Structure 1
Amino acid sequence: MSISVHLDRITDPIVAQDERHAGSSVRQPELRVLMATRYGRLGASSRLRLLQYAEPLAEQGILSTARPFLSDNYVKALYEGRSRLPAVLAAYARAPALRAAVQEHDIVWIEKELLPFLPALFERALLGANKKFILDFDDAWFLRYGGEGEAGGRNRLVRTLLGGKFPTLLRRAALTIVANETLRDWALRAGAANVLLLPTVVDLDHYPPTAMPTNPVFTIGWIGTPVTAPYLARLAEPLRQLSAEAPLELLVIGAPDFTLPGVTCRHLPWSEATEAAMISQCDVGIMPLPDDAWARGKSGYKLIQYMAAGRPTIGSPVGANTTIVEDGVTGFLAGPAATWADRLRRLRDDPPRRQAMGSAARLRVAADYALQATAPRLAAAIRSIAAR
């Protein structure tokens, strides 16, 4: 029988019991959790899905140790288009120490996989027969090894060796944590017995309320990496149309080489310490996506960042975007290029509407997409698997 634990409704009776007693004076025993992240803090998925929970979990008596598999050098090489092989080899040189770290903790919280590019049998041997572990996914990572869909599985050897890796691990996991409904449905089909739908969230304390910009130039913001910047090219024509009508700039955060002919682009280097302040320079935040298997598994985190900053958003009606954006309330969903032009024009020409949508967006993040709201639910889920 599958147990599906949702953000708004806890169906596991043990989790529910833990939540009822979370505010009581009964002291819970300490738990030691190994955060086996894929990257260090430079990797957004590791930073947001696991590392940012360390402090709020510690307040609940769940003590964590972070052990990234790939260093920040790997992430830098990826974004700069350099070879990642030296960083991968260095990661595997450090791998023998992982077994001792696994044994020293009560639960292992794994971001995607412990040993990238290796079959599941190596991870089973590393974890042993009785170690409880959590698997965490914020993307359709199973496509990388050809589990499903057209985005993966083009290499026959990869399909043969790794195609069944994630379903094998899922069936043994004490808990599978996923970022959206698409990933939840895949996990349940693959045989996961216990699934927690936990969106990728912001720490709202890092996003203080800010006033809308007073710059007469309508500023459209996008934040991401050089890997995801090509999605912006889908908006080349509507952005050129709007640029011809009135002053406009595209503020690109984190992709210094991206340009669109006919559109004024301003670039800012990404920084964890300043990303919220950079987003506050925008009038509206955007997240265009193709409608494909990989994009449908994305977490929609860009939209949540814009909304936390009190900015209206426009996103493609794909995957988690359709859940995050309340169309016409916190922002808009836009499919065809003409719709993008129309929605951007509406926000450009109506500052009071921008303000109202931005305020509604921030309230929605505070309720459903903030660390302050999700951390107690995560702590309860971890306690529940420890008690079994």
Structure 2
Amino acid sequence: MIEVAAITSGRDLPSTRYRIRQHIHPLEKLGVNVVEHCPAIDKWAAVPGKPRRWSNKQVLPFYIAWQGTKLLTRFPGIVKSHLAGVTWLNKELLPGYSTLESLLSRPLVADIDDAIWLTPPFGSRVARKLAQRADVLVVGNGYLADWFGVHNANIQIIPTAIDTELFYPDRAGKGGEGCFTVGWIGSQGNLAYLQSIEDALVVFLKQYTDARLLVVSDRAPSFQKLTSDQVMFKPWQGSEEVADIQSMDVGLMPLQDSEWARGKCAFKMLQYMALEKPVVVSPVGMNRQVLEMDSVGFAARSKAEWIEALVYLYENREEGRLLGKKGRVTVKKEFSVTVVSQKLASMFHSL
């Protein structure tokens, strides 16, 4: 049995939950015993009490003290890494800073699912140093592999997985009952992508008054044109995540074509697909690759294409259900926890 110390980033962070935590039990069956060491403070947590509109420079002494406090919560995991055979690090310890990574025991597996070299203030330097120190870099897509491959030859592309037993379609037909629900789920940091297609949503929801937009996030969106009767906001809760997506008829994943967006791993898209929801997505980075695997939904690059795709799915519900079924087949074949855990186990056994 290989003993692995997993150094994660925060209790509810998607990268913690889906890149590492959900694999712990399956990996145990494959000869890899993973013990997670999660910090008491989420590494992305803002300075307590700081107004959102204030910059960190405006509260610099408190910001420095807060970052130091976060690092203190990392020491138990660092110590425990020396009691295990392998260290599995969920990205850098502190966003945008190179800190205590050199104290972690080796062999070191660095798991990366974002373009962390873009994280201010020193992301590029941090990413290079982490890549050079790691014995293996596990990345979520080919774009990340290309960037990190310059700094470390030992790269393995392992996608973010979906637990297809947990993310199971609503066979009772909950989605589609009553109003037609166009849905988006994600963290507040990604709300800008959703808000960027507001004009298309306005046209669609004005044309089809029995349709609505469901937004599931840790913060409500700030729309300028959509009205409160057209948008339903639900605070994200892990226990309700599956049910929230089940209530959708279509899943959205808009992105801007940027370096940061190209580093994303299509996770929202895969969640929708696992629950047999047709998708409308920006064909950026890994989104495009998943779209090319089968007929699972539509690519939308412009306002007109977003409207066209939504209208088509509204007026062709059965076709949407068929696209959703193909989506689940694709997820089970390529992105299920079973498939991805086996890839991770092979990687650990090869060290």
Same fold (TM over 0.5): yes
Code of the aligned partner of 1:370 = S
Structure 1 residues 324 and 47 mapped into 2: Cα distance closer, same or farther (>3 Å)? same
- C-alpha distance in 1 between matches for 2:177 and 2:232: 14
Structure 1 residues 214 and 321 mapped into 2: Cα distance closer, same or farther (>3 Å)? closer
Partner residue, 2:318: 352
Following TM superposition, by how much is the alpha carbon of 1:259 offset from its aligned partner in structure 2, in angstroms? 4.3
Does 2:167 align with 1:201? no
Contact 1:171 1:192 (8 Å CA) reproduced: yes
Does 2:103 align with 1:141? no
Structure 1 residues 328 and 108 mapped into 2: Cα distance closer, same or farther (>3 Å)? closer
- C-alpha distance in 2 between matches for 1:235 and 1:312: 18
Does 2:194 align with 1:217? no
Partner residue, 1:246: 208
- C-alpha distance in 2 between matches for 1:381 and 1:73: 27
Following TM superposition, by how much is the alpha carbon of 1:108 offset from its aligned partner in structure 2, in angstroms? 0.5
Of residues 94, 117, 142, the one that matches 1:181 is 142
Moved more, 343-352 or 255-264: 255-264
- C-alpha distance in 1 between matches for 2:66 and 2:163: 30
Partner residue, 2:284: 318
Partner residue, 1:101: 80
The alignment's C-alpha RMSD in Å is 2.4
Following TM superposition, by how much is the alpha carbon of 1:172 offset from its aligned partner in structure 2, in angstroms? 3.1
Structure 1 residues 107 and 358 mapped into 2: Cα distance closer, same or farther (>3 Å)? same
Provide structure 1 residue ranges, at least 5 long, that are not aligned to the other structure. Answer: 1-29, 146-157
For 1:59-97, what per-residue CA distance to the aligned partner results, in whole angstroms no more than 9, with x for missing partners? 12211111124624954879x966894753432223343
Structure 1 residues 204 and 267 mapped into 2: Cα distance closer, same or farther (>3 Å)? same
Code of the aligned partner of 2:19 = R
Of residues 31, 48, 54, the one that matches 2:2 is 31
Contact 1:73 1:87 (8 Å CA) reproduced: no
Contact 2:195 2:221 (8 Å CA) reproduced: no
Code of the aligned partner of 1:252 = V
> What is the TM-score of this pair, normalised by structure 2?
0.88
> What is the TM-score of this pair, normalised by structure 1?
0.80
- C-alpha distance in 2 between matches for 1:347 and 1:202: 24
Following TM superposition, by how much is the alpha carbon of 1:115 offset from its aligned partner in structure 2, in angstroms? 5.0
Aligned positions of 1:210-289 closer than 5 A: 210=170, 211=173, 213-247=175-209, 248-260=211-223, 261-263=225-227, 264-289=230-255
Code of the aligned partner of 1:44 = P
Of residues 218, 243, 260, the one that matches 1:294 is 260
For 1:27-70, what per-residue CA distance to the aligned partner results, in whole angstroms no more than 9, with x for missing partners? xxx11111111222x11111111111111111122111111246
Provide structure 2 residue ranges, at least 5 long, that are not aligned to the other structure. Answer: 57-61
Moved more, 170-179 or 209-218: 209-218
Contact 1:174 1:193 (8 Å CA) reproduced: no
Partner residue, 1:23: none
- C-alpha distance in 2 between matches for 1:244 and 1:179: 38
- C-alpha distance in 2 between matches for 1:46 and 1:342: 36
- C-alpha distance in 2 between matches for 1:295 and 1:106: 34
SS in 2 for 1:206: coil
- C-alpha distance in 2 between matches for 1:283 and 1:327: 21
- C-alpha distance in 1 between matches for 2:208 and 2:4: 53
SS in 2 for 1:164: helix
- C-alpha distance in 1 between matches for 2:78 and 2:45: 24
- C-alpha distance in 2 between matches for 1:372 and 1:343: 32
SS in 2 for 1:251: strand
Q: How many residues are treated as equivalent by the alignment?
A: 335
Aligned positions of 1:355-374 closer than 5 A: 355-374=321-340
Partner residue, 1:382: 348
Code of the aligned partner of 1:188 = G
- C-alpha distance in 1 between matches for 2:23 and 2:231: 35
Of residues 121, 127, 132, the one that matches 2:107 is 132
